[in-house]
Structure 1
Amino acid sequence: MSERLQRRSFLAGLWAALSAMFGASMTAAAANQPPQKAEGRESRAGIHPWLGVGEQVTADVVLDGKVVAQLNDTATLPGLKKLPALVFDLPPGLKRLQLRGSLRDAEGRAGSFSKTWTVRDMAPISAPLYDGSRPMIERVRAFAEKTELAEVAAPRLPAGTTAEAAFQQLERRLHVQLPTPLRQLLGQAGIHIDDSYFLGPQDLGTVSELLLKGWGYTRSGGPTALDTLLPETVLARYDRSVAVFIEVGDGLGALAWDPAGVSLHEPANSWGDKGNPGARPATPNEGVWYWLHQEHIDEPELLLDDDYQPKSAEAALTNVFQRFALSQAAYPETEDELVIDTAHPRNLLQLSFDGPKKPRLWFRSYDYHYSLY
């Protein structure tokens, strides 16, 4: 069996186990919920069409037999956009979502389509991560205990060292003040997700230090020299940024925090989203979080919100669990199934077409690249 098929088989088994554990209680809870007004729901879905330039899609969005919105979008640029073409509320207990409409190509030829998906909600396993009434460390512990998709243990510190002392030493050395959510999370837990992990308080340092000490790069001279591989602005960012999470997979990657934040119109380096306006500084400036990877070491991918401003520390740290834990359970089991997550504030649903009459709607909020959105 190929590695890809093995992976899909593993994911199907994982979800089946999780559904057996939590699905029945969730279904009963949804059935017993009183009706809620759509505008009172926190969970929403955004449809992000992926069309060819000049193609136009028009469609009714039908939830459990009721038309709730109409999509009308014409592509002026190729690929997926960060901002959705349409946003609608996700009602509790949703069972089916239908799209019916037409796709018109750049030459004006149109074809009609109608497609219905059976909905599967991930909220039973993801909800602890989005419980704003609890401190983040409690959310992470509850998520790990419920799903076993992450390992959370007591932090391992050298004898005679406290997490607070390690944080203060780093702050004095780098002349920064670490974000409070980061201090709380790393100070109270050692966290692994498969082979990837958060660094302990005593192991925190700059991205440049990480690249030079652990990843085999050199400062100057030779094919792996940072001053050769990186633009000056990126090297400066790596010199002042704190690396907090190490990705171990197809190469090495990391999540890092740059206390300096972003410059106006700085490229986000997100996958897709062509023609975007670039980053916008936030007020007050609390820095910017980003992902880096060996495959594109010169293009750190900024974590920005829908206004292209830096995401909060909590959102960035939550993104780790979205990309590396929840992504394992977010795959549809069939072409007729649509995964959603009503615990997530806004679901990213990609709409593409395998043919004029074959729409494909796909939940991408937890995908490796799409979670940057």
Structure 2
Amino acid sequence: MSETVRQLSSRRSFLAGLWAGIAAIFGTMKPKSTRAQTPSPAGGKHHAGKAGIHPWIEIGQQITVDIAIDGEVVAHLDHKAVLPGLKKLPAVVFDLPAGLKQLQLRGSFIDAEGRITTFTRTWTVRDIAEASAPLYDQTRPLIERIRNFAGMSELVQLDAPRRDGGVTAEAAFRKLETRLGVQLPAPLRQILSSADINVEDSSFLSPPNLVAVTELLLSGWGYTRSGGDIALDKLVSATVLARYDRSVAVFVEVGDGLGALAWDPAGVTSGEPPNTWGDKGNPGAQPSTPNDGVWFWLHQEHISEPELLLDDDYRPKDAEAALIHVFQRFCLSQIDSPESESELVIDSNLPRNLLQLHFEDPTKPKLWLRSYDYHYSLY
């Protein structure tokens, strides 16, 4: 079943279950820039997260923008595109005051020929923080956070952990670690030994079924090691194949083709391509904590380019962030769509909301949340 069809077919029941769960858990609830010239918010207001604006305009085009929240200018953006596409790092970052209701952009658009057009556009803000709250509750263990989120989402199902062939989780972990010469991240051990976790048609692998990525591709996805049109040594580079040989697949995606979340214990080499969509001219991955490895997504549609999960400094994200990413990508992505062109969705639980700024024409800026976007997310 395609990802688009799955999202549309489950959206209505998901939202109903989601908001019912929110009411049960939380009760009835009422719904600065990185640049030197950015003014600070006035009056010592309480902040609910941050936002970063990521412009996507053509090379040579330029924008000058004042960013106002509930009538108060909180940041200023000057940006000229020198590379195509969307950048991982924002052009400006600013605080989101708690309870904000409107965000406005007003400024000018300069095309590559120097023609100037002014614009003003206002969005009503909707915060989905109540929906995401269980996942980001740092006071609770990861598995409990997943359980609480599953309790309000019909997309996530948790069952008692499976013992395939009567093998315990600990025995399965030790067998795999000995065979591959690795030590699995503690958060992964915790959630896989505590529950059998399914996200619609996709699922985390049970401890006895954990395998190296190459083994998954050969046994479950129909690839061959060599020989034929779908031979791995023909489709991927020697470097990528070596990564697949040593990496552990932990979550299998069933949608438009097959995909997986995996962990490479060797980590990254300095400057290697992240393979994320867009973000031209990035510095490449940067080594981080030794022995932590790197998490990545792979998919049949781009089997030769695994997408690395990196933070804003291009260093590997930790295991907990990578595991939460599954629910961001497959669940929260289904509730972050605006209900009209004049609505801006944010999640004040996020350290920074990634807001893409694009222009349908010089007078019509479009701004929307990309933090949970399945295909083109930059988180």
Q: Shorter-normalised TM-score: what interval? A: over 0.9
Query: Among 233, 237, 248, which residue is 2:243 paired with?
Result: 237
Which amino acid in structure 1 is aligned with residue 235 of structure 2? L
SS in 1 for 2:166: coil
Deviations 1:23-48 (A, max 9, x none): 799796468xxx9945x646111100
Map 1:7-18 → 2, pairs under 5 A? 11=11, 14-15=14-15, 18=18
Q: CA deviation at 1:283?
A: 2.9
Alignment correspondent of 2:332: 326
Deviations 1:176-218 (A, max 9, x none): 0000000001110111111011000000010000000000001
Alignment correspondent of 2:224: 218
**How many positions carry a matched residue from both structures?**
368
Q: Work out the CA distance in 2 between the residues paired with 1:283 and 1:25.
A: 37
SS in 1 for 2:224: coil
Alignment correspondent of 1:155: 161
Deviations 1:130-185 (A, max 9, x none): 11111100110011112333111111112532111110110000000000000001
Alignment correspondent of 2:38: none
Which amino acid in structure 1 is aligned with residue 181 of structure 2? H
8 A Cα contact 2:223 2:232, kept in partner:
yes
Alignment correspondent of 1:301: 307
Which amino acid in structure 2 is aligned with residue 365 of structure 1? S
8 A Cα contact 1:63 1:94, kept in partner:
yes
Deviations 1:68-124 (A, max 9, x none): 111111111011000000111112211111111111111111111111111111111
Alignment correspondent of 1:87: 93
| Correspondence 1:137 to 2:143 | yes
Query: Among 361, 365, 370, which residue is 2:371 paired with?
Result: 365
Map 1:1-373 → 2, pairs under 5 A? 11=11, 14-15=14-15, 18-19=18-19, 22=22, 29=29, 37=44, 41=47, 43-373=49-379
Q: Work out the CA distance in 2 between the residues paired with 1:21 and 1:122.
A: 14
Instruction: Check 1:83–1:72 CA distance in 2 against 1; reply closer, same or farther (3 A cut).
Output: same
Instruction: Check 1:198–1:102 CA distance in 2 against 1; reply closer, same or farther (3 A cut).
Output: same
Structure 1, unaligned runs of 5 or more: none
Q: Work out the CA distance in 1 between the residues paired with 2:184 and 2:48.
A: 30
Q: Work out the CA distance in 2 between the residues paired with 1:42 and 1:64.
A: 14
8 A Cα contact 1:354 1:360, kept in partner:
yes
Q: Work out the CA distance in 1 between the residues paired with 2:125 and 2:321.
A: 26
Q: Work out the CA distance in 1 between the residues paired with 2:179 and 2:149.
A: 34
8 A Cα contact 1:322 1:371, kept in partner:
no
Q: Work out the CA distance in 1 between the residues paired with 2:65 and 2:24.
A: 33
Q: Percent identity?
A: 64
SS in 2 for 1:43: strand
8 A Cα contact 1:59 1:70, kept in partner:
yes
Q: Work out the CA distance in 2 between the residues paired with 1:24 and 1:100.
A: 40
8 A Cα contact 2:48 2:98, kept in partner:
no
Structure 2, unaligned runs of 5 or more: 32-41
8 A Cα contact 1:229 1:298, kept in partner:
yes
Q: CA deviation at 1:8?
A: 5.2
Q: Work out the CA distance in 2 between the residues paired with 1:5 and 1:237.
A: 32
RMSD: 2.4
Q: Work out the CA distance in 2 between the residues paired with 1:314 and 1:284.
A: 16
Q: Work out the CA distance in 2 between the residues paired with 1:78 and 1:27.
A: 46
After TM superposition, the score normalised by the length of structure 1 is: 0.93
8 A Cα contact 2:192 2:206, kept in partner:
yes
8 A Cα contact 2:7 2:334, kept in partner:
no
